[in-house]
Amino acid sequence: MADLAVMLVKVVAAFGALLLLAAYMTWAERRVFALVQVRYGPNRVGPAGLLQPIADGIKLMFKESVIPAQADKLIFVLAPLVSLVPAMAAFAVIPFGSSVTLFGRQVDLIVADVNVGVLYIFALSGIGVYGIVLGAWASNSKYPLLGGLRSAAQLISYELSLGMSLLGVVLIAGSLSLKDIVAAQAHYPFILLQPLGFLLFLVCMLAETNRSPFDLPEAESELTGGFHTEYSSMHFAMYFLAEYCSMITLSAVAATFFLGGWRGPLLPPVVWFLVKVVAFMFFFMWVRATTPRLRYDQLMGFGWKVLLPLAILNVVATAGVMAFLG
Amino acid sequence: MLAEIARGLWLTLKHSWRSRVTVQYPDEREEMPKGYRGLHKLLRWEDGLERCVGCKLCSAACPVDCIFVESAENDPARPTSKGERYASVYEINELRCIFCGYCEEACPVGAIVLGNEYEFCQDHRDKFLYAKRDLLVRRTEDYPELKARYDEKRLLTYV
């Protein structure tokens, strides 16, 4: 019973924090954008514009949800959920701190220590694609459909390299559990052993979350809004949240695999974890503010001809060195 | 490609340290340039008499016909303007006005000028019909920026 209560508290706290962070990342993104463009960004609602996400949320909630007459209504409504739920659920296996003692109980700061955590994350991010494709198809409109098709092709191509780029770390740590991977980085972060893997992961995670320069599924200059063209109100907000949640989750994965997760000197583990995640989020925004969108053939060519061979090379080299060292 | 992206990232990072170009509008305002053509003002002489002598040249010069003037004879005992006549009715439809400044150029006494004011939104069309009491300033000296609008020496004074 007590275990269940602890579990519930952890789930609520982790997902509450995730949602809050995702909401505030929309604010942060606009501020970072403005920073690069020599503007201020939202700074009117509350101090430094900090209440902006809440104002946006209220606005979206009170907007009318328009469902196109020709749309497949059930799938149209469910698709954003299919995107959002896996994006949030993937966060469950990420350790966001060391264990703490609460009311005389040892509590690990991880929602679920799955022994195949890496696979779990990839499985869920694979499901996330369905949300986009289903939503795109159910809209019964050409722009979303094109966006959805691109999304499917892009995610399939880049998920391979994404998984491969993490395999090196898995080989070194000898475990698929994220908790063990953090434990294996007690002395030094794996970025030192896997610089290529880190770089590959960085690129793939941009593509995996449909972020610039790989934001072809929602390329607004050619596809209006891409897969979410027909969406409005909270259905749209769910897609938006899903994008930010998966960004946060992948940032957390990057921090966990390459930067030692919650490990760090002086500051408490949870703070270190947050610092690393936010740093990756800043990277996402920084890149988006800098790069133009890739052309579709460049995207595919880069994914299959550059990233994948490099990722495979990285895995083979790592495995070779591991075997050599015994 | 990576080197180029890195260069781009460095450039955007450098930009983020620049001082902002934004003017935080309701809190801070930029000074209007000298020739700015905003809301009209009807000016007075320094002794308080109205400059407008009701000649209707502004109305004639107006390309969109937004100025309506009706003139009346001055009461010699208590004159309103320095000329023979004064504007008993002076109306400008600010919705129609294109702020070309021709009225200002046509005015022989420097009575009508386009001021610096640009914040005169209203919630009803009728409210854009500015009557004389809306346009006439209390004291010209209160608007030093309007001094540059007319050349005192050029004015044909009717005094």
| Binned average pLDDT, 10 residues per bin, chain A of 326 residues | 80 86 89 88 86 89 86 88 88 80 72 82 85 86 84 83 86 83 81 85 85 76 77 86 88 87 79 88 88 84 88 90 83
Inter-chain contact B16–A36, Cβ cutoff 8 Å? Answer: yes
Inter-chain contact A290–B22, Cβ cutoff 8 Å? Answer: no
Within 8 A by CB and 6+ apart from A109, the residues are A10, A95, A96, A97, A98, A99, A100, A262, A269, A270
- Taking the C-alpha atoms of residue B74 and residue B83, their distance in angstroms, rounded to an integer, is 8
For residue range B60-115, list pLDDT tens digits in order: 999 999 999 999 998 888 888 888 888 999 999 999 999 998 998 888 888 888 88
| Residue B23 within any structural domain of the chain | no
| B8 interfacial to chain A (CB closer than 8 Å) | yes
Q: What is the CATH classification number for the domain harbouring B47?
A: 3.30.70.3270
Rounded to a whole number of angstroms, the distance from the CA of A200 to the nearest CA of chain B is 12
For residue range B88-100, list pLDDT tens digits in order: 999 999 999 999 9
Rounded to a whole number of angstroms, the distance from the CA of B19 to the nearest CA of chain A is 7
Q: A203 and A287 in contact (C-beta within 8 Å)?
A: no
| Residue B13 within any structural domain of the chain | no
Rounded to a whole number of angstroms, the distance from the CA of A39 to the nearest CA of chain B is 5
- Taking the C-alpha atoms of residue A71 and residue A138, their distance in angstroms, rounded to an integer, is 5
Inter-chain contact A289–B12, Cβ cutoff 8 Å? Answer: yes
| B5 interfacial to chain A (CB closer than 8 Å) | yes
Provide the token pair at A103: 């009311």
Q: Which residue has the tokens 């969406």?
A: A231
| Residue B24 within any structural domain of the chain | no
Q: Report the pLDDT value the prediction gives residue B96, as an integer from 0 to 100.
A: 93
Work out whether the CA dihedral A269, A243, A221, A200 comes out positive or negative.
positive
Cα–chain center distance at B153: 20
| B7 interfacial to chain A (CB closer than 8 Å) | no
Q: Report the pLDDT value the prediction gives residue A232, as an integer from 0 to 100.
A: 83
Within 8 A by CB and 6+ apart from B158, the residues are B53, B82, B83, B84, B108, B109
| Interface predicted TM-score (ipTM) of this complex, two decimals | 0.72
By CA distance, what is A288's nearest residue in B? B9
Interface of A with B in 272-311 (CB under 8 A): 286-287, 289-291
Within 8 A by CB and 6+ apart from A45, the residues are A51, A52, A54, A55
| Residue B4 within any structural domain of the chain | no
| A48 interfacial to chain B (CB closer than 8 Å) | no
Q: Between the CA of residue B51 and those of A98, B117, B137, what are the distances in Å?
A: 82, 20, 11
Task: Provide the residue type at A192 as one letter.
Answer: L
For β-strands B112-114 and B85-93, DSSP reports them as unpaired
Count of domains observed in chain B:
1
What does the angle CA A116 – CA A100 – CA A98 come to, to the nearest 5 degrees?
45
| Residue B63 within any structural domain of the chain | yes
Does the pLDDT value for residue B135 go beyond 70? yes
Question: What is chain B's alpha carbon radius of gyration, rounded to the nearest angstrom?
Answer: 22
Full domain range(s) for residue B120: 33-149
| A39 interfacial to chain B (CB closer than 8 Å) | yes
| Residue B26 within any structural domain of the chain | no
Rounded to a whole number of angstroms, the distance from the CA of B24 to the nearest CA of chain A is 9
b/e per residue, A128-156, with b = 16+ CB within 10 A?
bbebbbbbbbbbebebbbbbbebbbbbbe
